[in-house]
Structure 1
Amino acid sequence: MATMVRPSTRNPKLDDVAARAGVSTATVSRFLNNPDIVAASTAVRIRAAIEEMQYVPNLLAGGLASSRSKMVAVLIPHLVDSLFDRTIETMVEELNAGGTMVMLALTGTAAGRTEAMIRAAMGRQVDAIVSTAPISAETTALIQHFPGLFVQIWDLPAEPPGIAVGFSHVEIGHNLARFIYERGYRRPALVSAELGRARLRRDGFVQGWEAHSDTPVKEIAVDSPSRFGHARRVFAELRRQPERPDVVVCGSDSLAQGIIVEANAAGLKVPDQLAVVGFGNASVASDMRPTITTVEIDGAQIAREVNAAVRSHVSGVAPKQRSVNVGFRIIARESA
């Protein structure tokens, strides 16, 4: 009886690809790191050998010509109702186009989870770690041992452990308070999460409002991230107030959308009887009717600044500055 020959389960090695293509292992290594520096005919043979053998390179192997991992870790707290979509999409698209892969990690809101993800990224010897989360003193000490580039985005800490690309959340709060006061609103309600940067915007808003008015700000806290589903409870609480607010400042555009839906269902006209302001300039802000007044952050610019810093770092060039302020702008639309 004929013996069945089982296909080999051994993963092909760099040497196997080189033998199949008829070149040296150094040539294959150069091709993997930068295909353009290898002669076109040689590149065709190497590429064919890789496809035939289904070879997957070990990018951390010492046999490769470069010590780069060609990988960047991006840490975000959540995907649902994320304010970071535009930043992440632009960053991934441009990094991938340059031959760098992106490892996306979800940290939640716990500081311990963020530190664990940073440790995991460091263990994989990524070229850079991009974090959207505030960094604790313990995590800062850990980052000092990271040979790659550490980038905080959507924030401008006074002393970033690496570099920071973002804006001032306190300044956003100040500007929102001035914006609604100058438009004649006098009874604001502020609805936001109590954690991290939302808290900074809250503090800035309250400080800014107190500079213009003696009327206290009505505050309602929601879980992070603030989202559409919070609106029903928030609106019910607003209606129980002895005096209804004339403007609601929300921690996100999705929450602002929910407040508008609830107001319409209750027969209130937005903005005549209740004005609404969001944050983030999500697509829903311009698609909603009425369109939502909001704060725009140029997420694509943040991504471009990060990508430029990563490219400089892997080329051995130190960053020109540790903090890059991309600013923000308030977009006045129909809801306020």
Structure 2
Amino acid sequence: MHDDLTAHSFDDVVRIEPTVSAGTQTRAKPVRIEQVAQLAGVSAITVSRALRNPNLVSDATRARILEVVQQTGYWSNPHASALRSGRSSIVAVFVSNLQSQQYTQAAQACAQVIEEHGLQMMVGQTSYSYSRELTAIQSLRALRPAAVFFTGVIELEENRRTLRDLNIPIVESWAHTRDPIDMLVAFSNVDAGRLAATHLSDRGYRRPAFIGRGGGRGKLRLQGFSQRLAERDINLAGHVVIDWVESVEDGRIAYRRLQESGAQFDSVFCANDLLGTGAMIEALSQGQGVPEQVGILAFGDPSTAGALSPRLSMVGVDTREVGRRAAAMILARISGEDLPSRTCLDLSLVRGETT
């Protein structure tokens, strides 16, 4: 694995500011229980009792407290005792898609490391959705975990600020961004696209197409893919972009859309493993020879290339190593050890039976 950040292309990750009207407050800090108590004219312990054991507080007092809670947006913190002791045992891990093996492998590898040090992993799914990501990050204000690990980078500036305000270790991954929130286990998506184009052109394909998400990492992989093809005087035969990926079926649908577009392609680079698996299944179901009539190459964890029949050709990164590196960074930060906060992993390619 490579730690020289300059040896890999940077990914120009999108940064999105919220759209607000002039003078609108874009960010509010979490309301503290002491603030609620002051506004309600009671003690903090009375607020806690009203929310957790309402039978211990008079109806009038509880009603007054609930009115203040509603006005301020206060969230009762179920882990307050852990906070008062200065330590939570939870590491929150948010994966892009639980059905994609590359993300679950990273999460599992992270869990194996941190659990040996008395920490527990809690997993959530963002599904490439800004709204789900926003909900997940807002929940962290109440959960207040020991650290957070994302299989991705955060694009919304408001979410980035919220995460910084938590003042806990944050590990992003899956993109080689210049400006991570805190810590980063990176690989270059632009370089992944370039490697895919190099492989297909070396194999003799002259009409490659692309299937992937139109934003985020899919866009970066398309960027590198198109750049490398242009350097070799090969035109992109066609492309299909989709908003999100939930299952293998999305790959089948995207492959049919590529066909319906009229593109004359002899190979397809799919920007993740679910799309690649779906495209391969669809091609085979139509009686197309793979790779005799069409080559299929996907991005993912190359170690999983042999899990399908035929074996799917794969360009990507060791996702278990992503999880292990993230865990090491979290543990080092918590214990006060000196460990680099950024690392960039090498990509690899495994040729299966589909190219």
Same fold (TM over 0.5): yes
CA distance in 1, matches of 2:287, 2:91: 50
Structure 1 stretch 309-318 or stretch 226-235: which is displaced more? 226-235
- Asked if 1:323 is matched to 2:342, the reply is yes
Deviation sequence 1:239-292 (CA, Å, 0-9, x none): 446563111111223332332233233332111111111121377631322211
CA distance in 1, matches of 2:197, 2:124: 35
CA distance in 2, matches of 1:134, 1:80: 19
Sort the Cα spacing of 1:123 and 1:240 in 2 relative to 1 into closer, same or farther, 3 A. Answer: closer
Deviation sequence 1:92-146 (CA, Å, 0-9, x none): 2222222101122223333343234223224333221112233222222223322
Sort the Cα spacing of 1:263 and 1:125 in 2 relative to 1 into closer, same or farther, 3 A. Answer: closer
- Asked if 1:71 is matched to 2:90, the reply is yes
Sort the Cα spacing of 1:125 and 1:203 in 2 relative to 1 into closer, same or farther, 3 A. Answer: same
Instruction: Name the count of aligned residue pairs.
Output: 276
Give 1:61 shift.
6.1
Contact 1:81/1:225 (CA < 8 Å) preserved in 2?
no
Taking CA–CA contacts closer than 8 Å with sequence separation of 6 or more, which of the two structures ends up with the larger relative contact order?
2
**1:239-254 pair list within 5 angstroms:** 239-240=259-260, 244-254=264-274
- From 82, 87, 111, the equivalent of 1:60 is 82
**1:1-336 pair list within 5 angstroms:** 60=82, 62=84, 64=85, 67-81=86-100, 83-135=102-154, 136-225=156-245, 227-240=247-260, 244-281=264-301, 285-318=305-338, 320-336=339-355
Structure 1 stretch 287-296 or stretch 75-84: which is displaced more? 75-84
Deviation sequence 1:138-183 (CA, Å, 0-9, x none): 2222233222111102122101110100201011011111111111
Give the TM-score taking structure 1 as reference length.
0.74
Contact 1:227/1:252 (CA < 8 Å) preserved in 2?
no
CA distance in 1, matches of 2:342, 2:178: 9
CA distance in 1, matches of 2:252, 2:144: 46
Runs (5+) with no aligned partner, structure 1:
1-56
Amino acid at match of 2:189: H
Q: CA RMSD in A?
A: 2.4
CA distance in 1, matches of 2:272, 2:209: 14
CA distance in 1, matches of 2:207, 2:246: 21
Amino acid at match of 2:130: A
Runs (5+) with no aligned partner, structure 2:
1-78
Contact 1:281/1:294 (CA < 8 Å) preserved in 2?
yes
Percent of aligned pairs with the same residue?
24
